[in-house]
């Protein structure tokens, strides 16, 4: 594993929708257990904005006063973000789909921590929605083979 990137798999205790065709569940069996199982498309209903790269949509959820923040990205299958790096740390949490970040393949529920100045690409292996948390503002696009 390249230095500066740390992956973790979905925790077995994460609640996942039992039936993808089910709307946000308020079924008695879920209420009895105190569980809430959101529909897999619940996040996609936000007002996403087109990203400069084909097949990618983006929305800021929160901007930090000192820069960075949290954002939601929706990528169509095959959509790619070019080689880039950030001046601060970045975290990625996949809420739906399958995503490749650098050499790491992430599935729904997986988390990835990326140190500052670590070059990486992003590719949606399936239609994907993911949350990204950035420590600071900024992204630097890199040429293929460039290490920053």
Contact 97, 128 (CB under 8 A): yes
| Domains contained in the chain, number | 2
Instruction: Judge whether 7 lies within some domain.
Output: no
Instruction: Judge whether 125 lies within some domain.
Output: yes
Q: Does residue 42 surpass a pLDDT of 50? A: no
Whether residue 41 sits in one domain with residue 59:
no
| Domain assignment of residue 102, given as a range | 46-148
Reported as a pLDDT band with limits 50, 70 and 90, residue 24 is very low
- For the segment 130-145, what is each residue's pLDDT rounded down to a tens digit? 999 999 999 899 998 7
- φ/ψ region of 61 (left if φ > 0, alpha if ψ in -120 to 50, else beta) reads alpha
pLDDT score at 69: 92
Instruction: Judge whether 122 lies within some domain.
Output: yes
Q: Does residue 107 surpass a pLDDT of 90? A: yes
Longest dimension (CA), the chain: 55
> pTM for this one?
0.70
Instruction: Judge whether 106 lies within some domain.
Output: yes
Reported as a pLDDT band with limits 50, 70 and 90, residue 12 is very low
pLDDT score at 116: 96
């Amino acid at each position: 594993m390249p230095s500066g990137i740390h992956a973790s798999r979905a925790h077995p205790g994460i609640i996942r929708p039992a039936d993808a065709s089910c709307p946000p569940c308020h079924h008695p069996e879920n209420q009895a257990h105190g569980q809430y199982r959101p529909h897999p498309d619940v996040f996609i209903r936000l007002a996403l904005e087109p990203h400069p790269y084909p097949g990618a949509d983006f929305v800021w959820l929160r901007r930090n006063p000192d820069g960075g923040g949290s954002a939601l990205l929706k990528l169509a299958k095959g959509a790619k973000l070019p080689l880039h790096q950030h001046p601060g740390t970045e975290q990625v949490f996949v809420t739906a789909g399958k995503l490749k970040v650098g050499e790491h393949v992430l599935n729904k529920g997986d988390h990835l921590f990326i140190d500052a100045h670590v070059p990486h690409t992003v590719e949606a292996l399936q239609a994907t929605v993911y949350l990204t948390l950035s420590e600071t503002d900024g992204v630097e696009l890199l040429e293929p083979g460039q290490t920053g």
